[in-house]
Structure 1
Amino acid sequence: MKKIAIAVLALVSSIANAGELYNNGPVVGSNGLSAIAPNATTFGFGDQSNVGNFVADDFTITVGKSWDISSLSFYGYQTGATGFSFTSATWSIVSGNDVNTGTVVAFGTTDVTNGGLAGYRVTDTTLNDTQRRIFKVDADITDITLASGHYWLAWGLAGTGVSGPWQPPTSDARQGNAAQATGGGAFAQLVESGSDLSVELPFAVNGTVSAVPEPETYAMLLAGLGLIGLARRRARI
């Protein structure tokens, strides 16, 4: 009977696992730096929510999974700020293949907390420059549940620094489909002006991922619970 109980517990634990659900990083390299890529000229992309500047990138929840999202993590800097200077994140989650025409399934403006100094945005000739401190910006949101599918996360940040907030690309300089909206306009693919290459943006989605059990799995779970209950009743006789 103990083996049955252990099997049931293992089955239940496999249905939900808490932690980081998705990370679109890396933010910095192993040296703690995010260096501007060769031929690139842009330190950071504007995502100042107070003037209608936002960025967006996508993620996918695989078939058979469901995410219970409890927080979002962003990464940004304000040039010249010596400490954490961010105050809020304005964000939305859009379901669909196009961030402009998809369905908004969740949104909000959320106070943020300091997730820690991630590193520095530099050039390959100014590796010791500390003007652009990249911070992890954590936003605890009201829990939302997303089914499998393709989604976009759009966001803008607010802060007390005199410059920015600015959004660095992923430190591996890989190409992707990140987008930017300026002045409250529509999103367009984000392209680095110097290299003329597309970019990806670092962010993370946190919470609980749950597998959607097959009918046979539910049957096994119910049968196991039934056997445990029967054993307990017999033990009392």
Structure 2
Amino acid sequence: MKKIAFAVLALVTGVANAGVLFNNGPVVDGDGKSILAPDASTLGFGNQSDAGNFVADDFNVTAGKSWNVSSLSFYGYQTNAGKFTFTSATWSIVSGDDVNTGKVVASGTSAVTNGGLAGYRVTDTTLNNKQRGIYQINADIADVTLGSGHYWLTWGVTGTAASGPWQPPTSDAREGNAAQTGAGLPFTTLFDDNNGLTSELPFTVNGTVVAVPEPETYAMMLGGLGLIALARRRARRG
């Protein structure tokens, strides 16, 4: 009977081990470098939350799944800082296809911790330059449950160094729909100033994934609960 109860509990919760739910990287290449793309001129995008600057990118929770999000990881640098200098992250999770008109399902300002040096933002002619160390910026948040659908993550960070914080694009320089806002204006798609190409931004969403049971699973669950109830009645009669 204990085995039946455990199986039913597993069906009800569907809990997986905590880990990375979504990774929008890569942050750097195999050599630890994030190299400015050919004909590009923007090393980093401003996301200084204390100046009203934020960036955004999107992700999907697949059909039939539910996520319990417990932390977020961002990636950024402050030129010439030489160490981890970030102090807080202001973020929001927005449900919908448009970051400007979607529904904010969770938001906050979180203290951050050092997730380690990921690598360096460089140009193809300054591959060994170490002025722009990219750090993983970890922010624990109050758990939030996300059902299947399309979401946007917006974020801005603060730091103690003089320059930035700056947000690098993904190191593969792929195009995408990352966006930026400043001074309370609507988010608009990010474009490189020189080559006019769009960007994707590295971030990770962390927590646990819970499968939504199919109808057959519900039937098994109800049957298991019935067996447990029957066994308890018989135990009382005994």
TM-score, length-scaled by structure 2? 0.91
Preserved CA contact (<8 Å) 2:11 2:213: no
Alignment-mate amino acid for residue 48 of structure 2: Q
Q: Give the distance between the partners of 1:106 and 1:29, measured in 2 at CA.
A: 32
Matches of 2:107 and 2:228, distance apart in 1? 44
Secondary structure of the 1:16 match is: coil
Distance in 2 (alpha carbons) for counterparts of 1:184 and 1:231: 62
Equivalent AA in structure 2 for residue 61 of structure 1: V
How far, CA to CA, are the matches of 1:103 and 1:10 in structure 2? 32
The number of equivalent residue pairs is: 236
Alignment correspondent of 2:213: 213
Letter in 2 for 1:50: D
SS in structure 2 of the partner of residue 137 of structure 1: strand
1:110-156 per-position Cα deviation (integer Å, ceiling 9, x unaligned): 10001111110011111111110000000000111111111110000
1:113 aligned residue: 113
Farther off after superposition, 221-230 or 141-150: 221-230
Taking the aligned partners of 1:89 and 1:10, their CA distance within structure 2 comes to 35
Q: Deviations over 1:168-214 (max 9, x none)?
A: 00001000000000222111000011211000000011111111112
Q: Give the whole-Å Cα distance in 2 for the aligned partners of 1:5 and 1:145.
A: 25
Query: What is the distance in 2 between the residues matched to 1:55 and 1:88?
Result: 15
Question: CA shift at 1:225, angstroms?
Answer: 4.9
Mapped partners of 2:10, 2:50: distance in 1: 48
Mapping of 1:49-198 within 5 angstroms? 49-198=49-198
Instruction: Please report how far the alpha carbon of residue 227 of structure 1 lies from its aligned counterpart in structure 2 after TM superposition.
Output: 4.1
Structure 1 counterpart of 2:26: 26
How far apart, CA to CA, are the structure 2 residues paired with 1:201 and 1:226? 50
Matches of 1:142 and 1:162, distance apart in 2: 30
Q: Which runs of 4+ in 1 moved over 3 A?
A: 1-13, 224-237
Q: Percent identity?
A: 70
Give 1:216 shift: 1.9
Give the alignment's Cα RMSD to 1 decimal: 2.1
2:15 partner amino acid: A
User: Match for residue 47 of structure 1?
Assistant: 47
Check conservation: 2:67, 2:207, Cα contact below 8 A: yes
